[in-house]
Structures are given as structure tokens and as C-alpha cells.
Amino acid sequence: MKKKLLCFLIALTTVFTFSACTKNTDSSTRQNQPTPTQTDTEVLSAPIEEIPEIIEYRTSFLGCGDNIIYGTKDALQNAVEGGRKYNYKVYYEGVAEQIANADIAFINQETLMCGEGYALSYYPCFNSPQELGYDLVEMGFDVVNISNNHMLDKSADGLEKTIAFWKGLDTLMIGGYENGEDFDTIRYLERDGVKIAFLSYTYGTNGIVKPKNSPLVIPYINDEDIIRQTALAKENADLVFVSVHWGVEGAFTPNDEQKRVAQLFADCGVDAIIGHHPHVIQPVEWIFGKDGNKTLCVYSLGNFMAQQAYDYNMLGGMISFDIVHTNEQGSVPHIENVLFIPTVFHFAGTFLENNVMPFEQYSPELAASHGVRTYFGHQMSYDTLLGYIKNTVKNEFLPEFYHDKAN
């Protein structure tokens, strides 16, 4: 009995001793730990700041050259019952998808569309059916230029009617101006948050001048106008594009005046120059401005559609590029992925079967049946057309289809 009592007392003493040591150790540990402050608590409880996702925006641009209407026979035959008198959409079926898919599609409409009271006419003074204008807009052309050497073919009255017609359509018309105030009212187009200014100039009007009492402004190439209007445009736009009618007909290379004016555009800060008039293709290049800026210059897109007499007049091009920017602060829109897409305008010897198509879809057989050969009796071959392309446009601007083709 005493032994059991003794063992109980020893065990009880051990428990008390262990408990006391444990308490002393916990107290010592807590004394050595820092007490959390309010600031520490706020840091621990503050939400983690999320890094915003960088979003890239790409706006596609497609530019087409001289659209010249020499006849209406095919368009009349292709009219749809219950529709308009002329149907020009069939002419563009080969490129319709590319036009429709572009976020911004541009064309130089070379011929007037005066409407009621004016007879239709062709070379050398043009007046085309207004049905063509409706078709171009419905196909997806967002910007239509009418500043060229044929804009006074029906004098000031015909130009006034054409300007009024285009202003009534759902497209941005450039190059036709009702008066001085209208001339200096810069045209803008906005896509994906990017605002683009469009300017337009022509070298001349085939010696035809407007009456002195006409308020119309013909936007001739003039250094003072270019400098003033580019500055106005840059005040309110992210990018400035210029349509310019210049150069020598039939010349595959730009002349000195084209190069001088192109450098002026670059020095003024223009982002892209879309050239036309020579009725043949000319080179594409980057030009550096005086401030180190880079300007895309397309000297000539050639003919998009024109029933002219020579093989080189049948070749044209569509200039394609992306306008790129992001949602980052300070992101500056710029041009990437520049491609010159060669096209052919095909027509049969009867001036029917008119069709604009990418050159990649063309063939030696079609070239052999072209109206240039069968009606005009001039040379026309697939290989010659390919040579014009390879000798004029650098590989860096051509689709891969052309890279392994011989000059």
C-alpha cells in the first residue's frame, strides 16, 4: 500500500514539473515574437493587383487602282430581273471576297457618274452609269477617290453631280470638293479605335479647267496645300493616308517629280501613299521622312479594270496591309504585313466576259484568248505579264507564289 502511494506521489510530482516547464517555454517564445502592427495586417489582407491583358488590334486595308469603264454591254446583259439596269458586280467576282473581307477597302474611281441628263460616254471623256457606284459600295468599298485627270471630263457641272451622287452613298468619297471650306475639311475614317485621315491630289485634269465662277476645288498637287492639310490631318488622326494621281502613262518606274512629292509626303509625316494613273504597275517601297518616320509608298497600282489595248494595261495590283496597335498606354498604330497582290483584267475579243482576278488564278490559256490579242492584235502572254510583275515589285512585297518564279 505504501509502495503504491509512493509511486502515485512520484508520478504526480512529474506531471506538475513537466507542466510548469511547458508553460515557461511558451511564454518565452511569445515574448520573443514581434506583435503584428496595423500596417502588416493591411499588407497581408490587400488584394493582389491584376496585370491587364495586352490586346492587339489588327485592321486590314486593301487598296485598288484605276477603275475605268469603257462600255456597258456586259453589265447590261448581266442585269438581274427586278434589279438595276446595269450589273457590274459580275466584273469583280474574282476579287469580291477579298474586298468584302477587308476592314477598309479603297478604290480609285477614274470615271465620272453624272446621272440623269448626261449621256453615257467613254474615251476620251468618260461618264459611267451610276449603277456602278451602287455596286462598288455594296461590294464593300469604304473609301472612293475621284480626284484624277478625268474629273472635269463633263466640266464643273458634271463633277458637281458626281460629288453629290457619292455624298449620298454610304462610303467615304475623297478628291471632290464643293468649295474651299470643303477642301480643308479633312475626311476621316475610324476602325478599331484608330482614326485615319484621307487626303487626295491629282497632277492635272487633261488641260480642262473649271469656270472661274465655279466654287469647286480641284485638288492639284501643290506643296503648300500638302503641307497645310497634312498638318491639319495629323492634329486629329492617328494615321494619314494620301491618294495621289501622278506619273507618266505606260512607265513602270516613277519619275523625278513622283519621287520629290513622295519625299515631301514622308517629310510631312504621311503614313501611306496610294498612287495611280500610269495604267501600269510601279514599285512599292518604304521612304524615310526627315523626322525618322517611315512612309509606305505605292507608286502605282496600275489598272484595276480598263479595256485598254496593251498587255501591260491589263496588269494591276491590290495593296494589302494591317494597321496594328494594342491597348497599352502609348501604343502607336503602325503598318505591318505589306503585300502587293497582282491582278489581271480579262476580257474577250467581243468586250464581254469582263473579269478582274488575282494573277495567281490566271493561266496561259486565258492569256491566249484575251481581247488584247483577239481584238487589238497585240502581244499578250502569261510569261510576259509575270515578267512585268517580277521586274517591277520586290519579292519582299509579293506573295510567296512569286518568290520562286523566274523574271
Question: What is the band of 46 on the pLDDT scale with cuts at 50, 70, 90?
Answer: low
pLDDT at 44 over 90: no
Residue 328: phi and psi, rounded to 5, are -70, 145
Question: What is the band of 15 on the pLDDT scale with cuts at 50, 70, 90?
Answer: very low
Query: Which amino acid makes up residue 386?
Result: L
Give mean pLDDT, residues 147-174: 98
Tell me if 321 is assigned to some domain.
no
Tell me if 340 is assigned to some domain.
no
pLDDT digits 0-9 by tens, 264-309: 999 999 999 999 999 999 999 999 999 999 999 999 999 999 999 9
Cell output for 81 = 430581273
Q: What is the mean pLDDT of the chain?
A: 90
d(CA 73, CA 85): 11
pLDDT digits 0-9 by tens, 352-378: 899 999 999 999 999 999 999 999 999
**Where is pLDDT greater, at 26 or 212?**
212
Q: Tell me the chain's radius of gyration from C-alpha atoms.
A: 35
Tell me if 283 is assigned to some domain.
no
pLDDT at 112 over 50: yes
- The predicted pLDDT at position 42 comes to 53
Give mean pLDDT, residues 336-365: 96
Percent of the chain with pLDDT over 90: 82
Q: Are 271 and 335 in contact (CB under 8 A)?
A: yes
pLDDT at 43 over 60: no
d(CA 380, CA 373): 6
d(CA 306, CA 355): 10
When divided into structural domains, the chain yields a total of 1
pLDDT digits 0-9 by tens, 164-198: 999 999 999 999 999 999 999 999 999 999 999 99
Give mean pLDDT, residues 48-57: 82
Give mean pLDDT, residues 148-157: 98
Tell me if 49 is assigned to some domain.
no
**Range(s) of the domain holding residue 210:** 105-245
d(CA 108, CA 275): 9
Question: What is the band of 50 on the pLDDT scale with cuts at 50, 70, 90?
Answer: confident
Tell me if 16 is assigned to some domain.
no
pLDDT at 124 over 70: yes
Tell me if 322 is assigned to some domain.
no
Q: Are 112 and 166 in contact (CB under 8 A)?
A: no
Tell me if 29 is assigned to some domain.
no
CATH number of the domain residue 193 falls in = 3.60.21.10
